[in-house]
Chain A
Amino acid sequence: MTTRLLAQKIVVAALGLALFVSAGISFHRSRNLAEPVVLGPGVTSVKKLGEYFAAIRGTVNDCNLYFMEGREPGGTMLVLGGSHAEEPAGRLAAWLFVENGTVEKGRVIVALSANRSASTMTRLGGAYPPDFTIDTPSGPRMFRMGDRWTNPLDQWPDPEVFIHYPSGQELAYVDIRNLNRTWPGRPNGTFTEKTAFAFMEMIRREKVDVAIDLHEAELQYPVISTIVTHQRGQELATMVSMMLTDNEDFKIGTEFSPLTLHGLSHREIGDHSPAISLLFEAPEPFLDATRGITSREQLLTGKDEFVVKAGRHGLLFEEIDEKGWPIAVRVGRHTSSILQVAETWSEDNPAKPLAISGVPRYAEVIEKGVGAFLQDVTKAGKDRLAYE
């Protein structure tokens, strides 16, 4: 081997090592980024998912459950953020409940990272940003940008075919790591199935009346800007949709959960517990296959000229223009929708009311921005701080 060839090999190896180290640091930082949560006035206790199923205890998916007990008894609502961690409006909307909300009647339980493992990595080969920052009056707050699926470090390998339990339905192989395809889970299943099972145990034991799963969807997906509901929630969802469309400056439809499509929260939570299960979809151009640069800016502004172009060709199920779909709009849709569910539920179930205050609705989130409702971490006492 000539000296020159040896030198070339050393340089290439050094470059490879540099890439390996820098990528490793980025992955490690992303996986271990601690996201502070300021416990708002309504949070009365923080429990762990593992309290409901021992196999989850101490694992990456032993997520926090924020309990907001009302002063008066009533119904119980569960809000799931982060089922799909690459849909940040769901997580942030849930965050606004925890940091701002007060429950007067009933009880609200919130998960910010329902599939916490999925929040510790981004789409493999997708060139996603590992994190994003929301500006607040007290400084920037950084959040993990996650993925749709459980991190392969926590569950691997995938089978060639994923057979959903208990329906036996064949689903895409990769969805064996998708929390929203593994409901209701099973105690001896995969890590993701165990996570779903733990949530089901919690829903049953805490006697949840309404379970809301917060999501975002690409504009090329037909189930968008809508509430997908279990058949027992059809009237509730329809009334919520009508009230929101009439009274707030956005339109949201309803879709009924297909009886034979399994694994999704809107089907299985309702089938395997007394809870009414609802799933909200807000538009997220970041997820569209025809998007341009997959950047933090695109994630937060929802602006994308290529998605706009797709719309001009009639390829989208939701409108988009140069204004995009800013994160405040997406978060505001979710907060208003959750609050409206509580109000409509209370009208229909006066013996089990849900009264929530302090959480901003759609117009207020847009006017002031998401950051305005993220509290000052430095001013929170240690006993009023949690980490995701």
Chain B
Amino acid sequence: MFLSVRLPVLACLGAVLVLGAAAPAQAQKAETPVLVTSCGQSPGPIKLTVYMKRLQIAHDLKTDATAKDLGAKPYKTLIVVTGSSLKGMGAAGVSIDDEVKRVGALIDEARKKGITIVGAHVEGMERRAKSAAPGDNSDEISIDAVCPKSNFLIVRKDGDEDGRFTTLSKKHNIPVVFFQKNTEIQDVLKNVFGS
């Protein structure tokens, strides 16, 4: 009896301790069609679209999407995947400054149109400044350019090893949906885009 009363209380307390630092993440919802893009030309967006394809969530992937692209379809959601790839940006012939400018304008336009903005970071600490070239902080610049302007965040938990996204969530009162394993992206997308 003692245990049966105490365990749920302890569990709730534990949940508050774990999730309390971030803004509430329950029942974050978004609608289709979705425009998926990158801020930093990392391979991250494919991690989402590979599951979106399997789940038949209507979406377009355009890694260099601009504000104009939002007029191509009645998009209801914009997902911007943060984290940068020097190789990707080099191949695209852009710098992180170009990316911030492009995505900034894209987000501004999305806001005007009432489109839900989702910031995502799906590659863990490998796509944080820890793994960048010495002196390169383009991963962090990308995160700062997108996350504070988002309606909610989707983040792989190990990318929050240093509490970066928890802090952003708390500071800007933006809910964050954490997932542990890559395969859980599927469940996150189901929950977000499910009816």
| Chain A interface (Cβ < 8 Å from any Cβ of B) | 222-223, 225, 234-235, 238-239, 241-243, 245-246, 251, 253-256, 258-261, 314-315, 317-318
Contacts and interface: CB of A to CB of B under 8 A. Distances in A.
A256 B87 CA distance: 8
Give the most central of B85, B88, B127, B182: most A CB within 10 Å: B182
B188 interface: no
B24 interface: no
B47 interface: yes
Contacts of A235: 46, 49-50, 53
Contacts of B185: 242
Contact of B134 (A234, A246, A314): A314
Interface residues of B, number: 24
A234 B91 contact: no
Given A243-B183, A245-B182, A246-B181, A254 B88 contact: no
B47 A256 contact: no
A243 B123 contact: no
Given A255-B43, A255-B85, 17 more contacts: A222-B86, A234-B43, A235-B46, A238-B43, A238-B47, A241-B182, A242-B50, A243-B182, A246-B181, A246-B183, A253-B127, A254-B43, A256-B91, A258-B91, A261-B91, A317-B131, A317-B132
17 contacts: A234-B46, A235-B49, A235-B53, A238-B43, A241-B182, A242-B47, A242-B50, A242-B185, A245-B182, A246-B181, A251-B124, A251-B126, A255-B85, A256-B85, A258-B87, A259-B91, A315-B134
B8 interface: no
A229 to B, nearest CB: 8
B27 interface: no
Contacts of A222: 86-87, 132-133
A239 B50 contact: yes
Contacts of B182: 241-243, 245-246
Interface of B: 43, 46-47, 49-50, 53, 85-88, 90-91, 123-124, 126-127, 131-134, 181-183, 185
A260 B183 contact: no
Contact of B50 (A238, A245, A258): A238
A7 B46 CA distance: 74
Contacts of A253: 43, 123, 126-127
A223 B87 contact: yes
A47 B16 CA distance: 64
Interface residue SS majority, chain B: helix
B72 to A, nearest CB: 22
A318 B183 CA distance: 24
Contacts of A315: 134
Contacts of A317: 131-133
A282 to B, nearest CB: 15
A71 B120 CA distance: 44
Nearest to B183: A246
A242 B183 contact: yes
Nearest to A318: B131
Nearest to A244: B182
Give the most central of B43, B49, B53: most A CB within 10 Å: B43
Contacts of B132: 222, 317
A256 B47 CA distance: 13
A7 B102 CA distance: 78
A317 B85 CA distance: 12
Give the most central of A223, A315, A317: most B CB within 10 Å: A317
A242 B43 CA distance: 12
Contact of B88 (A243, A245, A255, A318): A255
Contacts of B124: 245, 251
Give the most central of A222, A238, A246: most B CB within 10 Å: A238
Nearest to B156: A245
Given A239-B50, A251-B124, A255-B85, A260 B91 contact: yes
A185 B130 CA distance: 38
A256 B123 contact: no
A241 B90 CA distance: 22
A67 B47 CA distance: 33
Contacts of B183: 242-243, 246
A387 B125 CA distance: 43
A243 B185 CA distance: 12
A317 B124 CA distance: 14
Nearest to A253: B126
Nearest to B124: A251
Contacts of B90: 258
A227 to B, nearest CB: 9
Contacts of A256: 43, 85, 87-88, 91
Contacts of B126: 225, 251, 253
Given A243-B182, A245-B182, A261-B91, A254 B134 contact: no
